[in-house]
Each structure stands twice: as C-alpha cells, then as structure tokens.
C-alpha cells in the first residue's frame, strides 16, 4: 500500500456508519476519562451487538482514530521540548513518539554534544568544549512555500542562551545554530511566508525573533540601575545563511511572534509596555500592545544606513520606538493597544486577522491585517481602530488555533478549557449586534492548557480535522510516576459540530508549542551520501592510525559486524581523533561507537561519518564497542584501544 492509499484509508476510516455507531455508543455523553477507558477496554465481547448488527466476530471495537498495527499515521506532530532542549516527533492521530531530535541539549544516544560535528554546530570554547549544553525550546515553526509548509526546515528557539536553531526535515537533524546579539529571553519566533517586496520569492527567507527580557544596551556593566533604559530588540535572521540580518529597537518587550501571509508584516505581543523589571509593575497598566513591524520599510532603513550597532555586534539596529515612528507614512512600527498582558498572537489561515490572547484580560483581540496596512499608509488615524473584535473568552486566554471554517479555538489556562468562538460572530458582536453568536462551545481539557494547535492550522491548507491541547498539568490522568507528572497532550476531533476528545497522551516535560503537519509534506532521506562528509573513510584499506606529533588520527570504518581495526595503538598524553565512517548501505543499519572509561558515545547512520577528539592519559587497554543493535554479532562488534605508557 502506498502512503497515499493509506492516507485515503485513514481519512475515510471513520465513515458515517462507523462514526455514528461509535458516536452513539462510546463518544457522546461520556466524560473524557470515561471515553478513553471505554475505548481502550473494548474487545469483541464488549461490543454492544445491538449497536453493530452483523458486526460481531468481524469488527474489533477499535476507535476510528486508531492507527492499527501496520498502518501509518496521517500527520506528523513536531513539538518543542521546553527546558529539555530537544525537539520531538510524534505521529497523529496515534500520539506515538517516534524520535527526539537533540538541539540545545546533550544526547548520548546520538552523540550530540559529543562528536566534533555536533560541537561545531552548537559552538565551542577555545579548548574545544561546547559553549552551551542547555537550552529551553518554546516555539518551532517550519519553512513555508506558497503559504504552506514545504518540508525543508524547522526553526526553533532557545530562551536561555538566546539562540535560533534550524532542523533539516529530510534527516530530522539540527544543522545550524545562531546566537542573537544584544538580547535576553528570546521567546517567540516565526518564519516569514513570502517576501514583502519581491513577489517571486514566495517562500521563507527570514525568521523573526522576539526578546522578552529587557537589558541595558550595550550590556557590559554600565547602566545596571538605570532600569528605565532597559530595552528589548526584535530580530530578523536569514533562513538560509542563519546570519542575523537586522534588529529593531522597540518600546516594551516582545512575547509571541506571528507573520502575515503576504510577507509584509511581522507582529509581536507585548505584556511589558510598562518596561518594568518587577512583575507587579509589569501588570500596572490596563493596556499593553500588539506591535507590528513593516518589514520592507525596516530593510529600506537598513539599506539607507539609518541604523546603529551595539558593543561588538555588527548587526544593524534600526529605531522602532514610538517617538521615532510617530508619522505612519514613514513608520517602521505600529503599536496597537490591546488589553492587559497579552500572550499569544496567531495569524488566521485566510491571512486576514491576528488573534491575540488576553492572558490577564478574559478576552481575545482580533486585529485586521488590512487595517494595520492602512495605518501604515496614513489612512487609519488610530492604531487601536485596527482591532475588529474583542470577544470575552474566559479566564487566562493563552493561544489561538483555527479550523479554516471561520472558527478560532483559544486555550484558557485558568478555566482549563478550549473555547471555540466564531470569528464573524465576534466581529458582528463588536459592531453592536447583540444576536451574534460568539462563543460556540466550551470544552474542558485536563488541565491548564498552554498551546492549542490544529492540523495544518498555521497554513493556508488548514484542514480543521484535529486540535491538540497541550496541557501543563495532568494530575490524575495517568499512573503516578513520582513528584514530577507528565503533561497531557489531548487529541480532539474538531471536524464535526461538537468537539470530541479522542485520547490523552502523556508527554514527558515540557513541550510548549507544536505543529501538526500532513505527512505527505515530509520527505525524509534514509541513507546519507558518503561524499557529503569531507573526512569520510571510504574504504577498509584507508583505515589506520596516523600520527602527527602527539596528535593521532584513527581512521575507522564500520560494516556489520566489524570495525575495520580490531585494535589500535596510541600513547599516553596523545590527543586522539577518531573518524568513523559507516559503510553499511542498508536502511536503518546504524552502528554505535563507545569507548570504556573515556566518556565517548555516538552513532553513525548508513554512509555517515562522525568524529570525536579526546585526550588519553591512562595507559591500558580500553574496549571500544558497538552500542547500537545492528547484527546477530552486535556483541562481538568491538575494537581495542591500546594506550601505551
Ligand atoms: Cu505560551 Cu513559551 Cu508558547 Cu509556553 S509560551 S505555553
Ligand atoms: Cu554494530 Cu551493533
Ligand atoms: Ca503589562
């Protein structure tokens, strides 16, 4: 069966008959807990025969959402892992976890942070050690072409050490990491969807990054007590080169980031327009803002040399503060007032609106893209007039997702709900129509949701099938595992009139944001090209020990079930570099390489080359062995490092 066939099967699986059957027996009217119990406990005996006439003995009472053995999921879900520092890959609707992609963390399975190649991506100190071995990923978004995912890259932030990483989606491995200058607390990030000026560029070329924390500029010990002059910058990174292109000095801070479908605007919510350093003061104003950036004007200002730089950084910084941008016709930025300490901002898939979640205000603010552009053209007198709806949603609105049918789904942290509201209804109500339906449904989730996100929901191909509520607390939903509980990722079917809870998945702490990508978009590569690695050892006869003073290079190849050298000799005090090429060409035939008592552990995938460099200072023999199960003779797949005195 091809992937496409399989997608169709899966899509048509919950056909009306089956759906109705399950709907009347199991899905409707049960609480979420009852539902998941009911489904997982189903077996042939428990199928109510009256509800499935003739089906007895033929139909296992599987949920229509079940991905049966041998079947593939319909979607990928990519999740940030929070302060675990990695990115995770799941399948939906099953919720099964397939892979963890190390990014800002150290990963001993892959050897991330251990191999020279990964260290070069992470960045090293002069002594060769990695500069940072921790990170906090919050937001991840793939590259776009034509307003939808193109399967090329995934960009993910690190809030702790102010870095943006890029993951290649063909190998699902991190290939670049860039540190942003002049900022702290890099939180929101979003790629652009096309170029604001050149209409032939309909794909991602920039990634925008918001800084949540403000600091003195430059930050080298002066101005520490002058908190009124602490600043945040909004940054733009080139998606290909991963160089920082420019930054914008702003008033207030940045929180989440969104981009328009026409490439003209980037937006960030701001909860600290007070520019305070203490939390009480950050809540002192009733109004904060959603701040818009006019990308074309900013880049023109950079071209015209209207920028400065801070400290050692060469990155041009343009002035986006309120006072410098009073004239809309030349303004780089537009500050749209919205209620108190907003959190998420999400662009609707039709490209018309930005939905901001109120957080400390029980409301959402809907801002019209067209009206912000009008303000920049000098045709709208007040930025606030770009707000076209401000529905009351409930307590603690955080993030909003869409179904492509005119509805928005906002997570309510305090109410532990997802609230479904109608965009047109909210606009009509804001215009004074008392009969307009705004809130369509309130749906309890378990418990305290952070992000909610829908299948393809941040693209023009938003399909309105599934919503996942990533909840911060799971309390009683799973077997207890000690003081730290997993979080719950709840899959909800939003394709019908009513939301239906499909299942709970425990997720290890602490995913924040995720995206759900149709699987046909992702095209992975199963085997490397040996020529992609400049140091590849392409033949058994090229392996050996090569000495240059006290620097020794050991060239090795692996081919199941052996390493090319059964032993190799080095001397006490040497700096040893081991280069290992896996010459196996069979899909999934990965080998590992670990050295006893030397803290070395990494894998090489088929046709891949990796290297490690370390000091040997204790004479003796040290077994090297294959860590990754590869062959019936996997245990025998060894070599001996002999360190001579
Ligand atoms: Cu709401 Cu970092 Cu996306 Cu977490 S942020 S939830
Ligand atoms: Cu090679 Cu296990
Ligand atoms: Ca505030």
Cα separation, 452 vs 572, in Å, equals 56
Give the pLDDT confidence score for residue 228 in this predicted structure: 86
The 10s digit of each residue's pLDDT in 163-193 is: 999 999 999 999 999 999 999 999 999 999 9
Please tell me if the CB atom of residue 633 comes closer than 6 angstroms to any atom of ligand 2.
no
* Interatomic CA distance for residues 27 and 12, integer angstroms: 18
From the list 448, 506, 442, the residue with the least C-alpha distance to 478 is 506
The 3-state DSSP class for residue 373 equals helix
User: Among 157, 158, 256, which is best to mutate for testing ligand 1, by the most ligand atoms less than 8 A from CB?
Assistant: 256
What's the 637 CA to ligand 2 centre distance in angstroms? 6
What is the distance in A from the centroid of ligand 1 to the CA of 563? 46
Identify the band that residue 9 occupies on the pLDDT scale cut at 50, 70 and 90. very low
Residue nearest to atom 6 of ligand 1 (CA): 450
Question: Is residue 221 pLDDT above 80, yes or no?
Answer: yes
| In the predicted structure, residue 345 carries a pLDDT above the cut 50 | yes
- Please report the DSSP string for 453-504 in residue order: EEBTTTSTT---SEEEEEES--TTSS---SSSPPEEEEEEE-SSSS-EEEEE
The helix/strand/coil state of 201 is coil
Specify the higher pLDDT residue, 363 or 50: 363
Give the other-Cβ count within 10 Å of 280's Cβ: 8
The residues with which 552 forms a beta bridge, in sequence order, are 547, 576
Q: Can you name the residues that pair with 206 across neighbouring β-strands?
A: 238
In whole angstroms, give the CA distance from residue 431 to residue 363.
16
Could you tell me if the CB of 634 is within 6 A of ligand 2? yes
Separation of 386 CA from ligand 3 center, angstroms?
20
Distance 489 CA to ligand 1 centre (A): 14
**Span of 24-33, 252-261, 377-386, 554-563 with lowest mean pLDDT:** 24-33
DSSP-derived letter for residue 196 is: S
Give the ligand 1 atom nearest the CA of 343. Answer: 1
Ligand closest in space to the Cα of 287: 3
* Helix, strand, coil percent content, the chain, rounded in steps of 5: 15, 40, 45
Average pLDDT over residues 428-448: 98
The bound ligand whose nearest atom lies closest to the alpha carbon of 271 is 3
- Of 16-20, 505-509, 613-617, the least confident: 16-20
> Nearest C-alpha to atom 2 of ligand 1 is from which residue?
138
Distance 584 CA to ligand 2 centre (A): 11
Q: Ligand 1: distance of its center to the CA of 388 in Å?
A: 25
- Residue-wise pLDDT tens digits, 460-472: 999 999 999 999 9
Instruction: Report the pLDDT value the prediction gives residue 63, as an integer from 0 to 100.
Output: 83
Closest CA to ligand 1's atom 1: 450
Q: Provide the β-strand partners of residue 338.
A: 288
Residue 426 pLDDT > 90: yes
Q: Terminal CA-to-CA distance of the chain, rounded, Å? A: 60
Ligand of minimum distance to the alpha carbon of 360: 3
Distance of CA 537 to the CA centre of its chain: 35
CA-629 nearest atom, ligand 2: 2
Mean pLDDT for 56-80 is 83
- Exposed / middle / buried, residue 352 (Cβ in 10 Å: 0-12, 13-18, 19+): middle
What's the pLDDT score for residue 1?
37
Of 542, 581, 552, 561, nearest in space to 642 by CA: 552
Any ligand 2 atom below 6 A from CB of 583: no
Find the ligand nearest to 137 CA: 1
Residue 37 parent element (H or E): helix 32-40
Distance CA(20)–CA(27), nearest Å, equals 9
* Residue reference for tokens 């099938």: 465
Ligand nearest to the CA of 400: 1
| Residue 268 alpha carbon to ligand 3 centre in Å | 14
CA-based angle 494:498:499, to the nearest 5? 45
Q: What is the mean pLDDT of residues 83-101?
A: 98
Q: What is the distance in A from the centroid of ligand 3 to the CA of 416?
A: 23
SS (H, E, C) 80-119: ECECCCCEEEEEECCCCEEEEECCCCCECCCCECCCHHHH
Return the H-helix or E-strand segment holding 422: strand 417-422
Structure tokens at 499: 């939301």
Ligand 3 center from residue 383 Cα (angstroms): 18
Cβ neighbours of residue 497 closer than 8 Å, sequence gap 6 or more: none
Q: What percent of the chain has pLDDT over 70?
A: 91
Tell me the whole-structure pTM to 2 decimals: 0.90
DSSP classification of residue 362: S
Q: How far apart are CA 492 and CA 499, in angstroms?
A: 6
User: What is the distance, to the nearest Å, from the Cα of residue 468 to the centroid of all Cα atoms in its chain?
Assistant: 14
* Residues 479-515 pLDDT 10s: 999 999 999 999 999 999 999 999 999 999 999 999 9
Q: Chain-wide mean pLDDT for the chain?
A: 92
Cα–Cα distance measured from residue 556 to residue 436, given in angstroms and rounded to the nearest whole number: 71
Token pair belonging to 158: 């690190």
Query: Ligand nearest 630 Cα, by number?
Result: 2
Whether residue 515 has its Cβ less than 6 Å from ligand 2: no
Task: Report which protein residue has its CA nearest ligand 2's atom 1.
Answer: 591
Distance CA 470, CA 450 (A): 6
Q: With cut-offs at 50, 70 and 90, classify the pLDDT of residue 10.
A: very low
How far apart, in whole angstroms, are the C-alpha atoms of residue 92 and residue 466? 9
CA-nearest of 84, 72, 196, 197 to 136 is 84
> What is the pLDDT averaged over residues 513-526?
97
| Per-position DSSP letters for 134-192, written without gaps between them | ---B--EEEEEETTEEEEEEEEEEETTTTEEEEEETTTTEEEEEEEPTT-EEEEEEEE-
Q: Ligand 1: which atom is nearest the Cα of residue 159?
A: 2
Contact call for residues 590 and 550 (beta carbons, < 8 A): no
Does the pLDDT at position 47 exceed 60? no
**How far, in Å, is the centroid of ligand 1 from the Cα of 209?**
14
Q: How far is CA 2 from the centre of its chain?
A: 28
Does residue 593 line the site of ligand 2, with CB under 6 A?
no
| Nearest alpha-carbon partner for 346 in 246, 270, 258 | 258
Going from the Cα of 240 to the center of ligand 2, the distance in angstroms, rounded, reads 36
Q: What is the whole-number distance in angstroms between the Cα of residue 450 and the centre of ligand 1?
A: 6
β 551-559/562-563 pair status: antiparallel
Q: pLDDT digits over 278-315, tens only?
A: 999 999 999 999 999 999 999 999 999 999 999 999 99
The atom of ligand 2 lying closest to the CA of 560 is 1
pLDDT digits (tens, 9 = 90+) for 97-129: 999 999 999 999 999 999 999 999 999 999 999
Is residue 7 very low, low, confident or very high in pLDDT (cuts 50, 70, 90)? very low
- Predicted confidence band of residue 17 (pLDDT cuts 50, 70, 90): very low
Query: Which residue is listed with tokens 């303004």?
Result: 331
What is the pairing mode between strands 287-294 and 265-270? antiparallel
Taking CA atoms, 493 is separated from 148, 298, 443, 502, in Å, by: 22, 42, 12, 7
Instruction: Say whether pLDDT at 74 is over 70.
Output: yes
Cβ–ligand 2 distance for 193 under 6 Å, the answer no
Q: Going by DSSP bridges, is the β-strand pair 575-582/551-559 parallel, antiparallel, or unpaired?
A: parallel
Enumerate residues 6+ apart whose C-beta is below 8 A from 40: none
Q: Which atom of ligand 1 lies nearest, measured to the CA of 187?
A: 2
CB of 580 closer than 6 A to ligand 2? Answer: no
- With a cut of 80, say whether residue 55 has pLDDT above it: no
Q: What is the pLDDT of residue 590?
A: 98
Whether the CA torsion 118, 123, 129, 133 is positive or negative: it is negative
Q: Over 80: is that where the pLDDT of 60 sits?
A: no
Nearest residue to 578 via CA among 545, 604, 549, 603: 545
Report CA-CA distances (Å) from 193 to 117, 198, 203, 347, 353.
31, 12, 6, 11, 15
Q: Enumerate residues lining ligand 1, CB below 6 A.
A: 138-139, 187, 343, 398-399, 450-451, 512-513
Q: How confident is the model at residue 575 (pLDDT cuts 50, 70, 90)?
A: very high
Report yes or no: 312 and 378 within 8 Å, Cβ to Cβ.
no
Residue whose entry in the numeric block shows the structure tokens 């190799």? 568
């Amino acid at each position: 069966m091809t992937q496409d066939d399989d997608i169709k099967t899966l899509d048509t699986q919950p056909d009306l008959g089956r759906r109705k059957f399950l709907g009347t027996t199991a899905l409707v009217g049960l609480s979420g807990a009852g539902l998941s119990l009911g489904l997982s406990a189903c077996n042939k005996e428990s199928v109510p025969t009256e509800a499935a006439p003739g089906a007895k003995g033929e139909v296992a009472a599987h949920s229509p959402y079940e991905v049966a053995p041998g079947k593939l999921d319909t979607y990928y879900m990519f999740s940030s892992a929070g302060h675990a520092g990695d990115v995770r890959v799941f399948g939906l609707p099953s919720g099964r976890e397939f892979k963890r992609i190390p990014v800002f963390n150290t990963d001993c399975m892959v050897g991330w942070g251990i191999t020279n190649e990964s260290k070069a991506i992470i960045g090293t100190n002069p002594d060769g050690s990695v500069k940072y071995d921790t990170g906090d990923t919050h937001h991840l978004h793939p590259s776009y072409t034509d307003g939808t995912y193109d399967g090329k890259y995934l960009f993910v932030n690190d809030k702790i050490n102010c870095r943006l990483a890029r993951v290649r989606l063909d190998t699902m491995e991190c290939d670049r990491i860039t540190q942003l200058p002049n900022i702290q607390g890099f939180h929101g990030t979003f790629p652009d969807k096309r170029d604001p000026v050149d209409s032939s560029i309909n794909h991602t070329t920039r990634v925008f990054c918001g800084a949540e924390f403000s600091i003195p500029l430059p930050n080298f010990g002066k101005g520490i007590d002058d908190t009124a002059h602490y600043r945040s910058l909004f940054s733009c990174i080139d998606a290909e080169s991963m160089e920082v292109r420019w930054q914008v000095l702003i008033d207030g801070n940045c929180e989440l980031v969104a981009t328009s479908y026409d490439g003209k605007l980037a937006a960030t919510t701001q909860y600290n327009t007070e520019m305070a350093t203490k939390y009480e003061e950050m809540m002192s104003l009733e109004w904060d803002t959603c701040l818009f950036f006019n990308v074309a004007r900013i880049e023109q200002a950079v071209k015209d040399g209207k920028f400065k730089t801070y400290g050692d950084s060469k990155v041009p910084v343009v002035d986006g503060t309120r006072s410098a941008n009073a004239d809309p016709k030349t303004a780089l930025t537009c500050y749209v007032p919205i209620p108190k300490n907003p959190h998420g901002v999400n662009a609707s898939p039709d490209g018309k609106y930005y939905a901001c979640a109120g957080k400390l205000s029980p409301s959402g603010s809907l801002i019209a893209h067209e009206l912000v552009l009008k303000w920049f053209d000098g045709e709208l007198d007040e930025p606030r007039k770009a707000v076209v709806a401000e529905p009351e949603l409930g307590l603690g609105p955080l993030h909003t997702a869409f179904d492509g049918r005119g509805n928005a789904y906002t997570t309510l942290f305090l109410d532990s709900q997802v609230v479904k509201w109608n965009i047109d209804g909210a606009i009509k109500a804001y215009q004074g129509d008392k009969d307009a339906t705004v809130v369509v449904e309130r749906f309890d989730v378990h418990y305290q949701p952070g992000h909610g996100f829908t299948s393809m929901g941040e693209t023009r191909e938003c399909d309105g099938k599934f919503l996942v509520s990533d909840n911060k607390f799971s309390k009683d939903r799973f077997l207890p595992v000690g003081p730290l509980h997993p979080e719950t990722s709840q899959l909800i079917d939003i394709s019908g009139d009513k939301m239906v809870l499909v299942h709970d998945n425990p997720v290890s702490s602490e995913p924040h944001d995720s995206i759900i990508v149709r699987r046909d978009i992702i095209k992975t590569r199963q085997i490397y090209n040996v020529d992609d690695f400049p140091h590849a050892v392409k033949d058994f006869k090229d392996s050996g020990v090569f000495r240059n003073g006290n620097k020794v290079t050991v060239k090795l190849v692996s081919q199941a079930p052996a390493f090319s050298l059964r032993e190799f000799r080095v001397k006490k005090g040497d700096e040893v570099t081991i280069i290992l090429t896996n010459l196996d060409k069979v899909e999934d035939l990965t080998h590992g390489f670990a050295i006893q008592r030397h803290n070395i552990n990494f894998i090489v995938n088929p046709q891949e080359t990796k290297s490690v460099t370390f000091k040997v200072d204790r004479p003796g023999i040290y077994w090297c062995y294959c860590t990754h199960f590869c062959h019936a003779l996997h245990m025998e797949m060894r070599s001996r490092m002999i360190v001579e005195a």
